[in-house]
Amino acid sequence: MRAPQTHETLPMAGAIGLIGGTGWPSTALYYERLNRLAEPGTVPVLIASLSFAPVLADAERGRFDLVTAAFVAAGQGLAAAGAGVIGLCAATAHLAFDAVAAAVPVPCLHIAEPFRHPAGLLPNGLLSKGAAVGVLGTAQTLEAGVFTGPLAAAGHRVVTPGAGLAAGLDRAIKTGISSGRPTPADIAAVQAALDDLVAGGADAVVLGCTELPLIRDRLRPAVPLIDAVAAHCQALLSWSRG
């Protein structure tokens, strides 16, 4: 009789597990970035892709209990399949991070973990200690302090968009950008929020939504941009390799 497989003997044991689908373009970006970083080889990746529409609908009506349950179930499935470390492919989804981390037997790596020591996120020490750092993201990401908390703890002054611009940014992210079909109005909303951060004194700006790197080439930044997906992928790959 064949012995039952343990976590260590599963074919994908030690793989990077990704909880994605919210939305799918950023999930695809994570997969691409991880394998680009692993070149000339590749990296084993397991993906649990959630359906974006019901997750967004639950979040918009305040049912974060249902959102959290969906992410917890996805994380448990990845761990059971052999994932050695788990990452969430959306910054807003990190409102469920603590619940996922508590429910799985493998490490979960927070998207803002690299920002606890952010000086290395830009070349040549561009982001010096005490620099003012702007953050772009959804309303929930900004309100929950997904990035602002770690940056402030690292000694940085954090700048966020004004209320009206933040609302426009939130709409742009959740409609055209997250679907992979941003309109000129969506790009303009992001640019307006970015300009507001620079006017507020930001020395650098975090692309704190995992879809924003997909439109980076269409923005006109006056300060360096920090790609949260790139930092998260590098951290996940480093963790998986020990």
The domains of the chain are located at 7-112+231-240, 114-227
Q: How confident is the model at residue 6 (pLDDT cuts 50, 70, 90)?
A: very low
Q: Taking each helix axis from N to C terminus, what angle separates 24-38 and 228-240, rounded to the nearest 10 degrees? A: 50
pLDDT on residue 118? 55
The answer to whether the CB of 21 falls within 8 A of the CB of 221 is no
Record the tokens describing residue 160, joined without a space: 């966020």
Percent of the chain with pLDDT over 70: 90
pLDDT on residue 120? 55
Position 125 pLDDT exceeds 80: no
Q: For the ranges 71-80, 108-117, 126-135, 218-227, which has the lowest average pLDDT?
A: 126-135
> 7-112+231-240 and 114-227: same fold?
yes
Q: In the chain, count of helices (H) and strands (E)?
A: 10, 7
Q: What is the mean pLDDT of the chain?
A: 90
pLDDT on residue 71? 98
- Rounded to an integer, the average pLDDT of 207-211 is 96
CATH number of 114-227: 3.40.50.1860
Position 11 pLDDT exceeds 70: no
pTM: 0.89
Q: How confident is the model at residue 8 (pLDDT cuts 50, 70, 90)?
A: very low
Rounded Cα distance between 222 and 205, Å, is 10
- With b for 16 or more beta-carbon neighbours within 10 A and e for fewer, the 184-199 pattern comes to eebbebbbbbbbbbbe
Record the tokens describing residue 150, joined without a space: 């770690």
CATH number of 7-112+231-240: 3.40.50.1860
- Rounded to an integer, the average pLDDT of 144-169 is 93
